[in-house]
Every structure is written in C-alpha cells, then in structure tokens.
Homo-oligomer: A and B are copies of this chain.
Amino acid sequence: MPSDFAEWESGPQAARGLFAAYPSGVVTFGAVIDGVDVLMLASSFTVGVSYDPPMCSVAIQKSSTTWPTLARAPRLGVSALSSAHAGSVRRLGSRDPRNRTADVSLARSPGGAVFLEDATAWFECVPVRELDAGDHTVVLLEVVGGSNAGTTPPLILHRGVVHATAEIVLD
C-alpha cells in the first residue's frame, strides 16, 4: 500500500478504522456551568486554524448532550492531555458527566473556564462561528489566552490506544 488501490476502503463503515489510524492529541473542554465543573473529551481539536487572530477548531457530534451546556459559557478552557493523564482518559470520556472529573485536578480561570492540572498546554477560547459537516458541527474558536508552560509531554491517541512521544534525533 497505497499502490494496491484494489484494497481501498470507503464509506461510513470504513471511516472509523481509517480515522483511528491518524494520530491526534486529546483535550478536555471545560467550563463552570451553574456552579458545576463541566468537562468534555475531544480528539478533533485543531490548532493553527488561524494565527491572526489566533483560532482553533473542534468537530462536535450533533448528538452531543454536553456541548449545548458548555456552549452557554462565555469562556471555554481547553487542556491538552499529557502522559500524566494516561490512566484518566477512559474516565474523562465517561458517558455520565459526573464521573469525568473524579481522577483529575482542576483549575478555574477568572472567566469561568475549567482546565486540567498537569496538562501539556492550555487554551482559553471563545466560540465564534460554526460550519455544518455531516453528522458533526465544526466550531471555530478564538484563542483569547493560554500557556505552553506545561512540562509533561503530550498524550497521543492512535488506533484507539494512548501513546507517549519521544523526540527523533536526526543526523
């Protein structure tokens, strides 16, 4: 492969396997809503969507029940999961929102965004625009603040399994 195009897969059935083969970071979106810390896990967060102004994006399932709650917040916290969160990913992705925060330490910004401690990087975002995309909605987010001072390396999701990263030293 890929020369063997006879084995090319296509359609919604094949999409899950195809997409899982592409590596991605993992984030939580978080905000204080009615006094409660609300977190949601996402693997489609993308940085560098624009540099001026700084913008990111995320694709949200139209069936998501947490996103409509989070979208009421003026500021959303985005935390890039690090290797410190390897054992917490499953719980962060719990169906019941009340179970998601059990394993992690949280921080709250003055604007009500909720972040994970021990993350690799943090972004404070404001949703600005949406684009219809099949069974998802692409949400554009303006980055109003953040920090890249995390010292723990990022977590990577690949073929459904969490991975750590190691620098490749080139000759």
Of residues 108 through 158 on chain A, the ones whose CB sits less than 8 Å from some CB of chain B are 109-110, 115, 117, 119-124, 129, 131, 133-136, 138, 140, 143-150, 153-156, 158
Q: Quick check: is A69 within 8 A (CB to CB) of the other chain?
A: no
The 25 listed contacts between A and B (C-beta, < 8 Å) are A2-B117, A2-B119, A2-B122, A2-B147, A19-B54, A21-B120, A22-B25, A22-B45, A22-B80, A22-B123, A23-B120, A23-B156, A24-B46, A49-B138, A50-B135, A52-B134, A54-B134, A57-B59, A86-B170, A129-B131, A131-B131, A154-B158, A161-B167, A163-B166, A165-B166
Q: A9-B148, A18-B148 are in contact. List 20 more A-B contacts (CB 8 A).
A: A3-B107, A4-B147, A8-B145, A9-B146, A14-B146, A18-B147, A19-B51, A19-B54, A21-B121, A22-B154, A23-B25, A24-B24, A46-B46, A46-B59, A52-B135, A86-B170, A158-B165, A162-B167, A162-B168, A164-B165
